[in-house]
Amino acid sequence: MKRAIKAGLHKVGLLNFGERVYFNLKSASPSVLWRQLQVKDNRGADGYPLPPPNLMYDVIASRWQAVFLDSGQKVVDDMAAQLAQFGHPLQDFSSILDFGCGCGRLIRHVQKHTDAILTGSDYNASLIAWCQTHLSFASFSVNQLLPPFTFAPASFDFVYARSVFTHLPAETQEAWIAELRRVMRPGGVLYLTMHGDRVAGGLTENQRTAMQRGELVVLYSSRAGENLCTTYAGKAYVEEKLCTGFDLLGFIPGRDEDHLRQDIYLLKKQ
Residues 14-23 pLDDT 10s: 555 555 555 4
Least confident span in 29-33, 124-128, 245-249: 29-33
pLDDT digits (tens, 9 = 90+) for 118-170: 999 999 999 999 999 999 999 999 999 999 999 999 999 999 999 999 999 99
d(CA 160, CA 266): 9
Distance of CA 131 to the CA centre of its chain: 16
What integer pLDDT is reported at residue 154 of this predicted model? 98
DSSP code at position 175: H
> What is the rounded distance in angstroms from the CA atom of residue 261 to the CA atom of residue 109?
20
3-class secondary structure, 95: strand
pLDDT over 70 (residue 12): no
* Cis amide leading into 148 (omega within 30): yes
Can you give the pTM of this predicted structure? 0.87
Confidence of residue 177 (pLDDT cuts 50, 70, 90): very high
Distance CA 52, CA 50 (A): 7
Q: Are 98 and 107 in contact (CB under 8 A)?
A: yes
Q: pLDDT category, 250, cuts 50, 70, 90?
A: very high
Each residue of 36-91: pLDDT tens digit?
556 666 788 889 999 999 999 999 888 888 889 999 999 999 999 999 999 999 99
Contact predicate 128/104, CB 8 Å: no
For helices 15-26 and 2-11, give the axis angle rounded to 10 degrees: 140
